Structure 1
């Protein structure tokens, strides 16, 4: 769901504005900043670009959108638990839908609302905690699935003069994630003890509401860092006029 990644999608948004004076692959359809229907143009272009997003676009330092890779994510699973996920692979992002897009170049803000029916993450967990005074410490496979995932992303842009050229980058972004429902499983708890594993995963299920309050911010943080880095990777290849041509 995260492991950073909603990335390629947002990078694509910026790539779509690249000037025809630059070397633009055929699969990228540009949109002019003077277009009165610029938002719909960008949405159409992103939908055309979807097959490339799945494969990844190395020339724009854009990794594959599916699976998305997240190296590390802290997981606060409630009182008595300390856990983290590592080497996560997240699938399902390629099926994203853009519900809303706002391009405000005057205020240097881009807003995107996304919907994904289902995201599935697999990786490794490390845990240190207790259940009913029984110490739990170890590592094993992690499975996390999220249903009806929506994201509200606000990118804040800024123009800077660098070596005599006007450049554009994104110093910050805000991301709010909502997951209607999720399922989290940690396998191999207690060295693979089936009873302890069953009890642990039942606790995770019973405490879903409280766990979600800490799980979602952790995913938001990981995604925000990944997306911001991805957006700036595409921007560094072009000047302001190349990213956002006037006509």
Structure 2
């Protein structure tokens, strides 16, 4: 009887240890002992890249789609009355990223990556409130912009923990730095709609001297990209045991 009880306990522990979803076969894995682990994972990312277009990684594993990338809102305000709201943004071109640098440290669960984005096309709505030569401007309308040669620098750190005797990883929010690159097209429809000359002047100022606005709104943009990237990475890295993701 004693042996039966012990055997039953062993079966229960084994069942708990294996009670997790299997990694989809569409996701290539790399041995944690691979002599060129960064290169192996880089190749896996390239294989997965077409699936990031619609976010379907296979076997029901869904992550935010990159084509287009949807952002509900980016807002920024200053004490001087300047308020910027970009709403319902759709960004085309994020799935066409090219990896410039990729480095992984499995022991410390760290990753650094630099992505080059050849062309990003943004559409959405805006709400803009500011003073221009003592004239209060409060407008809303459609927004469109084109960025060329943008860049994303991302750093990720994860921590190991045990669940039912199985080792998993929990990732911190990704540290993201987005560089917009060159603005080749920029339009705020309905801005100074009754004054075409003023409309062109303001658009020219924004297009040719965008650093002030982008510098101040940059932390908001970084935070939005960090949230999306963390969700994508978390769906993969947090959903499966490390032994599934990086077998021996």
TM-score range, shorter chain: 0.7 to 0.9
Q: Which residue number in structure 1 is paired with residue 121 of structure 2?
A: 120
The DSSP-based 3-state class of the residue aligned with 2:89 is strand
Q: Which residue number in structure 2 is paired with residue 213 of structure 1?
A: 215
Check 1:95–1:175 CA distance in 2 against 1; reply closer, same or farther (3 A cut): same
Per-residue CA distance 1:88-128 (angstroms, 9 max, x = gap): 00011121111111110112201111111111111111111
Q: Which residue number in structure 2 is paired with residue 232 of structure 1?
A: 234
TM-score by length of 2: 0.81
Per-residue CA distance 1:63-97 (angstroms, 9 max, x = gap): 32111111111246996521111110001112111
Q: Distance in 2 between matches of 1:95 and 1:32?
A: 27
Q: Which residue number in structure 1 is paired with residue 3 of structure 2?
A: none
Q: Which residue number in structure 2 is paired with residue 162 of structure 1?
A: 163
Task: Note the residue ranges of structure 1 that are not aligned, 5 or more in a row.
Answer: 1-20
Q: Distance in 2 between matches of 1:125 and 1:77?
A: 16
Q: Distance in 2 between matches of 1:221 and 1:103?
A: 23
The answer to which of 224-233 and 122-131 deviates more is: 224-233
The DSSP-based 3-state class of the residue aligned with 1:217 is helix
Q: Which residue number in structure 2 is paired with residue 44 of structure 1?
A: 43
Per-residue CA distance 1:178-213 (angstroms, 9 max, x = gap): 2332243211124x3242433332332353222231
Residues 126 and 140, structure 1, Cα contact 8 Å, conserved in 2: yes
Residues 63 and 231, structure 2, Cα contact 8 Å, conserved in 1: no
The answer to which of 132-141 and 70-79 deviates more is: 70-79
> Mapping of 1:10-21 within 5 angstroms?
none
Q: Which residue number in structure 1 is paired with residue 151 of structure 2?
A: 150
Residues 131 and 200, structure 1, Cα contact 8 Å, conserved in 2: no
Check 1:148–1:77 CA distance in 2 against 1; reply closer, same or farther (3 A cut): farther
Residues 64 and 228, structure 2, Cα contact 8 Å, conserved in 1: no
Of structures 1 and 2, the larger Rg is shown by 2
Residues 76 and 214, structure 1, Cα contact 8 Å, conserved in 2: no
Structure 1 residue 35, shift from structure 2 partner: 0.7
Task: Note the residue ranges of structure 2 that are not aligned, 5 or more in a row.
Answer: 1-20
> Mapping of 1:45-124 within 5 angstroms?
45-57=44-56, 59-75=60-76, 80-124=81-125
